[in-house]
Amino acid sequence: MSFVEYGDTIKDGDTAIVFLGHESMFPVKVQHGTVTQTKYGVIRHSTDLIGKKYGSKVTCSKGGWVFILHPTPELWTMNLPHRTQILYSTDISIITMMLELKPGSIVCESGTGSGSLSHALIRTVAPTGHLYTVEFHQQRAEKAREEFREHGVQHLVTVTNQDVCKNGFGVSNIADAVFLDIPSPWEAIGHAKSALKAEGGRICSFSPCIEQVQRTCLAMEEYGFTEINTLEILLRVYNVRTISLQIPDLGKAAEDNSSTGFDSSNPSNQGSLCTNLQQGTVQFKSSVPLREMVGHTGYLTFATKS
């Protein structure tokens, strides 16, 4: 199992996603002899998972069923253990596009955090690219290394435990793109410039506060970056539902039409035949925005190395 090399069959040691519904799923490490409890009953790894195909419908001990999905960066973002605040697919999608990433790209990232963006970057640059990710916190860095190894992507990523503002990324003049998600990104702009290739490299900085953005933009100008621009991505989700509405009683209008010689056979009057419908209800599909929506997550500042 690998997050970038998809397989058909569930194997011992794989990380799989147990899908109970769109609002209920969780990751599980498949191990021989282990069981997983769900609200639908027990899943026995040896008999219910190992050897089955990803996407299989598995019946639990209480008669309910779940789907077992192959992990992807998108599913991992929704289910990973949170060690820090993470980036979600809305921001990740614009980051990978605006940084112009593709298979073979070299990317530097700080900080690693919970690894949400890291997994998406790894899949984007695979199979010949590489991610150099720096994490200040030692335990988070060690946990990230462990997860990358379990997910079969350790050959595509190098995790370094150091302060990027003081020590940089550990590489020079090779990166196609740099991403910063740290409290004081302006202190790392110089190191980011050193890590980027000689010309045309892209940089992105994620900051929740506009004051951070202002200082970062000033630092980018000072180090000669061009095409500096800041974006804020907001996601609005719509809920599709079935609505039943009562058909109005238009009997009085129908009687008026009869008394005035209304000709229902005339094509021009076909639209008025609805007046003959009896009192009842009609169902149709409608979409409305959710009452609550995710608001501000952060500002994305992009720039190009001149």
Q: What average pLDDT is seen over the chain? A: 90
Domain boundary among 71, 88, 122: 71
Q: Is 105 known to sit in a ligand binding site?
A: no
Q: Is 117 known to sit in a ligand binding site?
A: yes
- Same structural domain for residues 131 and 213? yes
Residue 277 in domain: no
Q: Is 181 known to sit in a ligand binding site?
A: yes
Q: Is 135 known to sit in a ligand binding site?
A: yes
- Same structural domain for residues 86 and 165? yes
User: What is the domain-level CATH number for residue 120?
Assistant: 3.40.50.150
- Same structural domain for residues 199 and 90? yes
Residue 250 in domain: no
Q: What is the pLDDT of residues 147-202, one digit of tens each?
A: 999 999 999 999 999 999 999 999 999 999 999 999 999 999 999 999 999 989 99
- Same structural domain for residues 16 and 133? no
pTM equals 0.84
- Same structural domain for residues 88 and 215? yes
pLDDT at 258 over 50: yes
Residue 129 in domain: yes
Q: What is the pLDDT of residues 131-141, one digit of tens each?
A: 999 999 999 99
Q: Is 34 buried (19+), middle (13-18) or exposed (0-12) by CB count in 10 A?
A: middle
Q: Is 118 known to sit in a ligand binding site?
A: no
Split into its structural domains, the chain has a count of 2
- Same structural domain for residues 63 and 204? no
Q: Could you tell me if 92 and 124 are in contact, meaning their C-beta atoms sit under 8 angstroms apart?
A: no
Residues of the domain holding 86: 76-234+297-305
- Same structural domain for residues 223 and 129? yes
Nearest to 175 by CA among 70, 100, 238, 79: 100
